[in-house]
Structure 1
Amino acid sequence: MSTSKTGTDRYQQLYQEFHWHIPQHFNIARVCSQSWAEDAQHGQRTAVYFENSDGHTETLSYASLQAQANQLAQLLQSQGLQRGDVIACILPQRPETAITLIACLQLGAIVMPLSFLFGPEALEYRLQHSAAKALIVDASGIDAFLQIRANCPAVTTLITLDCQAEQALNWHVALTNMPDVFQMAETLASDPAILIYTSGTTGAPKGALLPHAALIGNLPGFVASQNWFPQEQDVFWSPADWAWTGGLMDALLPTLYFGKPIVGYQGRFSAETAYYLMEKYQVTNTFLFPTALKLMMKACASPLQQYRLHLRAIMCAGEAVGDAVFNWCISALQIIPNEMFGQTEMNYIVGNSHLHWPAKPGSMGRAYPGHRVALIDEAGKEVADHEIAEVAVHRYDIHGQPDPIFFLGYWNNVEATSDKFSGDWCRSGDLALRDADGYLWYQGRADDMFKAAGYRIGPAEIENCLLKHPAVLNVAVVPKPDQERGNLVKAYIVLSHGHLASAALIEELQSYVRGKLAPYEYPKEIEFIDQLPMTASGKIQRRILRLQEETRSKT
């Protein structure tokens, strides 16, 4: 891919001319760490800038990243861990997280990153289901693990970082005694590398097993959505947890692949913290959930007047951005955000790259080069433009070559893996419509759509409309069962600071939507709530609110 002038539409050329080149042997650890560490000019460059909420800072060079990963790999091997074993880690954004990933992958093991936000039940399910043999954990996750340790007998090796537990190896002590050289496993590009359990938005979590080649599959979208990353001075930061696909495959690993520094921050997200980090570390590229951008928008209307920012690209994913946030990014940050769509199972498949094709406000973009994307019906047939159907990706690109983006399957769940596919089409479970220019417009999860008084309702448009009102900080729209209409449109709203719930405000918000959307789309009922149920990856769990309404209707 080559650069072009801002505003031109080179999409068709880029899409048609793109070809995959997948080596037979490929290991993520080699391309993200070892190759840079062994480069005399690059080894001492920063891989990770780290800061926590207490103000403690560290930097980790590529040479140090590789040396410590070698030591950890030696330690794991000394404990009997080997190629194909599942090794779990509960670590936040910190240098040791990157070290752990590289160590496990160069061992040929399968690394399973777990969020430090998981409670004991969620943690127990994943450790038991995956049969993980080892766990690396710091203070953020040790308490949850100790509560269920007796129920996870397969975990025979426990390595603790900045915390203590019985029959555990101390990270700092154990690594000191290990050599800092290691013979990396010769893995195929198709070998399993990473096990990530889906966030459970629509049901029980499923373990998506990703091959080493999945990183290659992510790269065209990453480069495009980040306005042709990397540039010489690029520094990346995202609040996305490195335990999730968004933080791991959309931020950490691609940044390391290109030998650039990434900022890791251990602490709660806030708009003020986001601006602080971006200013201090001269962040040029970021991935922000729409939820984060909404908070930043509400907290600081004109950030460029308060902060010296160096941003040149913003990628958004996880939820529909909507034109309210889109237009704020342009006016307040002077950046056209590139929306992206993907899943753990096949990530970075659709999106924008406004330098090379125009971004349409509210659209999730076009299929990124290398990915054959279509909207299919229940029978697996492609539908025409302007019809709402399910987003799907074909196993083979437009040139007939295998697309490396795909997961290998769900861990110990052959039936769910089979259900994910209709022939060679991999279903996303997300609905969209495609316009005449090939842009997709997100309509919500298939199970988020509902009918009210005979009309088909998608929550995204209503939520986007409500978000433009100054009283609304965040919102989720769900159906409320109704005997006459089938369902009513109901909005759960988190109020912005300084606004109080009242009957008058409800009427004002209803009138606000009624004046902008179709009459049947305004929320017949509004409930104010302190916070919306969210997955750890930043997605609104409308399913929880929908089930709550169904339960209420039966009482």
Structure 2
Amino acid sequence: MTNGIRHAIVDHVPDDAPGALEIGFEIPERYNASEILFDNLRAGRADKVAIYAAAGNTSYGELCVKATKAGNALKSLGLAAGDRVLLLLNDTAAYPAVFFGAIRAGFVPMLINTLSPKDLIGFYLQDSGAPVAVVEAEYAPLFDQETIAGTSLRTLIVLDGEATSESPSIKVLDGDHWFAQFPSRLEAAPTRRDDMAFWMYSSGSTGRPKGIVHLQHDMAYTAKSFGRHILGIDENDICFSVPKIFFAYGFGNSITFPFSVGASTVLLAGRPEPGAVLDAVERFKPTLFFGLPTLYNALLHHPRIESADLSSVRLCLSAAEVLSQDIFSDWKRRFGLEIVEGLGSTEVLHIYLSNTHKQKRTGTAGKRVPGYEIRLTTPEGEPVAQGQEGVMWIRGHSNAPCYWNRPDKTAQTMRDGGWIWTGDRLLEDADGFFTFVGRVDDLIKVSGQWIYPLEIELCLSEHSAVRECAVLGLELPDRRMTTKAFVILGEGHVASETLTRELQDYVKSKLLPYKYPRLIEYRSELPKTGTGKIDRQQLRSAPLDA
């Protein structure tokens, strides 16, 4: 392993940790995560459909060929083992092909949010030192001279479109034609199970995003725990995850779980509009359907929902937000399907608390997923009694060992003995069901993404029309979370729907787009405490639709 981090992450979770013993997890010392895909060839599944998509289906044999060609192409660039490869891709067959090809060749792909603005792309390049990026043609203009200045990027590989760039300092390649020239066989790099395999980035809700390092064996562990024990997935299943691959939840649903057993996956490129989601369900007949409460709510209010056919689906799953009783009941009433809710994190790679189709309690995150240890403590680290609120700690072999280049945040989150301090506050009842109470640091989830209201508040304050503002995370009647901005306008500015859209677009342009305030209320003044601070508790009592 290169880059001097292997010694810091080996044995971050003890081999004999109870979670691994519980699910019988064993993996060779020398292991490459590309085997999740390539084991399907040894199992005789070359002709089986791996990916269903509107643009055409892809068999396991075809996908492995695409992956080996991508891996050989990346090797031809002279990269060193462990070098990072930034991926900014839509959910098509190219995504798993390049992902597994990079890992098989000994490199470390980075899965990046496709909504990232230019300044974040520049940060990812600087933080990671990635010399190569593989991107869809629509995202190539983001990689201009301003973005790549001061980074190590030297090659931009463009897929599904014309390979152009405004930057003269990097080589730009037409990936579709260039990959095709390389051999279709590639032996797996001799990586070890505790070597880096891939990265994901946090949402950056409390500052710059953090590079979350995952190891070669992490995917296999989530497949053995959640895939086997919660999904009961086998090769006859077809998975359809509306959350995207770059999102840890979507990554497991779309890639890890189906490929680990030779099942199939449905990939939907572009925005997951409700109509397109229903089209994909009816066309490809998935048996496992993965969404978020926001998606289920949108589908329930779509004009086609009464005629929609979900008869192929045996299990619906939800994560990333609290699922309300209303959505659960309306979905069951319409389709006869109960939504199974869980809780996970990017640091742990997937879900570690979950309901099941047999054991469920609506509004809770469920019970501990086999393979993971859970403990609740006071903020000082002392155990709490059952029924008392506590901060959750989690341990399992899919835990990220560190944040890249962030020793301060690593020390705060990745603790001794392989535990991750989540910062989530939960309650455990007498039956072992955990209920999410909130965040220690007031982070909230909106549409499955972590948001820090203060970040939005600071951004809005920079707009010329805003004299003063406060942004809060508020709970909707159906228990989903939203963000609301209370704004005092500067002299010469008048409240209007046009100004509201302008302020929302301003935040979208400065931060990741999903961080914009969903609601804006204009006021002549904001309530203050006796010390002159904004009285946020009083604002919380204001009607949501004021």
Q: Corresponding residue for 1:42?
A: 45
Counterpart for residue 334 of structure 1? 336
Kindly tell me: are residues 150 and 368 of structure 1, through their superposed partners in 2, closer, same or farther at Cα, counting changes over 3 Å? closer
CA drift of 1:540 comes to 7.4
Contact between 2:254 and 2:266, CA under 8 Å: does it hold in 1? no
Contact 1:235/1:285 (8 A) holds in 2: yes
Secondary structure of 2:57's aligned partner: strand
More deviation, 180-189/162-171: 162-171
1:293 to 293, 296, 305: 296
> Aligned equivalents of 2:211 and 2:399: distance in 1?
14
Q: 1:275 maps to what in 2? A: 278
The equivalent residue for 1:138 is: 136
Q: Distance in 2 between matches of 1:231 and 1:15?
A: 24
Q: Are the aligned partners of 2:342 and 2:354 in contact in 1 as well (CA < 8 Å)?
A: yes
Structure-1 residue corresponding to 2:456: none
Assess if the C-alpha contact under 8 Å between 1:201 and 1:543 holds in 2.
no
CA distance change for structure 1 residues 81 and 292 in 2, over 3 Å: closer, same or farther?
A: same
Residue 159 of structure 1 corresponds to which residue in structure 2?
A: 157
**Mapping for residues 77-88 of structure 1, pairs under 5 Å:** 77-88=75-86
Change (3 A) 1:302 1:87: closer
Task: Give, in angstroms, the shift of residue 147 of structure 1.
Answer: 5.6
Note the alpha carbon deviations across 1:226-252, whole angstroms, 9 max, x for none: 5311252x1111121212212213332
**Residues 21-60 of structure 1 mapped to structure 2, 5 A cutoff:** 21-32=26-37, 34-39=38-43, 41-51=44-54, 57-60=55-58
In structure 2, the residue matched to 1:189 is 193
State the distance in 2 between where 1:435 and 1:21 align. 32
CA gap 1:318/1:355 in 2 versus in 1, 3 angstroms: closer
1:366 aligns with 2:359: no
Give the counterpart of 1:409 among 402, 413, 438: 402
Amino acid at match of 1:354: T
| Amino acid in the other structure paired with 2:281 | M
1:239 to 237, 242, 251: 242
Question: What is aligned with 1:448?
Answer: 442
> 1:68: which partner in 2?
66
TM-score scaled to structure 2, two decimals?
A: 0.76
Q: Which amino acid aligns with 1:448?
A: D
Give 1:377's aligned residue: 378
Task: Choose from 317, 326, 339 the match for 1:315.
Answer: 317
Pick closer, same or farther for the CA change 1:385–1:19 going to 2, 3 Å: same
Superposed displacement of residue 449, structure 1: 8.1
TM-aligned CA deviation for residue 387 of structure 1? 1.8
AA partner of residue 314 (structure 1)? C
Q: What is the CA distance between 1:185 and its match in structure 2?
A: 0.6
CA contact under 8 A between 2:20 and 2:397: conserved in structure 1?
A: no
Structure 2 counterpart of 1:242, which letter? I
How big is the shift at 1:532? 13
- Relative to structure 1, the CA distance from residue 532 to residue 406 in structure 2 (aligned partners, 3 Å threshold; closer, same or farther) is farther
Q: Post-superposition shift, 1:408?
A: 2.0
Secondary structure, counterpart of 1:265 in structure 2: coil
Q: For residues 94 and 25 of structure 1, do their structure 2 counterparts lie closer, same or farther at Cα, with a shift above 3 Å needed?
A: same
Q: Which runs of 5+ in 2 are unaligned?
A: 1-18, 166-170, 445-471, 488-496, 498-502, 528-532, 535-546
Contact persistence 1:227–1:353 (CA under 8 A): no
Contact 1:91 1:140 in 2 (8 A): no
Is 1:426 the equivalent of 2:420?
A: yes
Matches within 5 A, 1:170-249: 170-223=174-227, 227-230=231-234, 232=236, 234-249=237-252
Compute the displacement of 1:412 (Å).
0.9
**Matched-pair contact (CA < 8 Å) for 1:345–1:407:** yes
Give the residue type in structure 2 aligned to 1:278. Answer: V
- Residue identity over aligned pairs, in percent, reads 21
Aligned-partner Cα distance in 1 for 2:235–2:336: 19
Give 2:278's aligned amino acid.
Answer: Y
Contact 1:237 1:285 in 2 (8 A): yes
- Per mean C-alpha deviation after superposition, the further-off stretch among 440-449 and 86-95 is 440-449
Distance of 2:219 and 2:91 partners within structure 1: 19
8 Å contact kept, 1:430–1:446: yes
CA contact 2:125–2:148 (8 Å) conserved in 1: no
Cα distance in structure 2, aligned partners of 1:532 and 1:382: 45
Deviation at 1:207, TM superposition (A): 0.5
Residue by residue over 1:131-158, the C-alpha shift from the partner in whole angstroms, topping out at 9 and shown as x without a partner, is 1110011123112122644415411122
Q: SS of 1:169's equivalent?
A: strand
Residues 552 and 87 of structure 1: is their aligned pair in 2 closer, same or farther, counting only changes over 3 Å?
farther
One-letter amino acid of the structure 2 residue matched with residue 433 of structure 1: L
Q: CA deviation at 1:25?
A: 2.2
Question: In the TM superposition, what whole-angstrom CA distance separates every residue of 1:447-503 from its partner, at most 9, and x where no partner exists?
Answer: 2389xxxxxxxx99x735x138xxxxx75267989xxxxxxxxxxxxxxxxxxx9xx
- Aligned partners of 1:118 and 1:428: how far apart in 2? 25
Which residue of structure 2 aligns with residue 20 of structure 1? 25
AA of the residue aligned to 1:412: N
- Aligned equivalents of 1:284 and 1:170: distance in 2? 36
Name 1:91's counterpart in structure 2.
Answer: 89
TM-score by length of structure 1 reads 0.75
What are the ranges of 5 or more consecutive residues in structure 1 without an aligned counterpart? 1-13, 52-56, 395-402, 451-458, 469-473, 482-500, 502-528
Distance 1:199 1:30 in 2: 29
Give, in whole Å, the separation in 2 of the partners of 1:81 and 1:434. 48
> How far, CA to CA, are the matches of 1:23 and 1:374 in structure 2?
29
Change (3 A) 1:312 1:412: same
**SS of residue matched to 2:219:** helix
SS across alignment from 2:130? coil
Partner of 1:463: 475
Shift of 1:421: 3.7
Corresponding residue for residue 113 of structure 1: 111
Task: State the one-letter code of the partner of 1:130.
Answer: S
Q: Tell me the residue number matched to 2:490.
A: none
Kindly provide the CA deviation profile for residues 309-354 of structure 1, in whole angstroms up to 9, marking residues without a partner as x.
3111112111111212222232222222221111111133433353
Task: Give the C-alpha shift of residue 129 in structure 1.
Answer: 0.6
Bigger shift: 441-450 or 280-289?
Answer: 441-450
Q: Which whole-Å CA distance do the structure 2 matches of 1:542 and 1:376 have between them?
A: 33
SS of residue matched to 1:438 = coil
Q: What is the aligned partner in structure 1 of residue 540 from structure 2?
A: none
Distance 1:347 1:382 in 2: 25
Measured against aligned partners, the alpha-carbon deviations of 1:170-202 in whole angstroms (never above 9, x if no partner) come to 112212321111121121111101111101233
User: What is the alpha-carbon distance in structure 1 between the residues aligned to residue 390 and residue 517 of structure 2?
Assistant: 20
Change (3 A) 1:545 1:186: farther
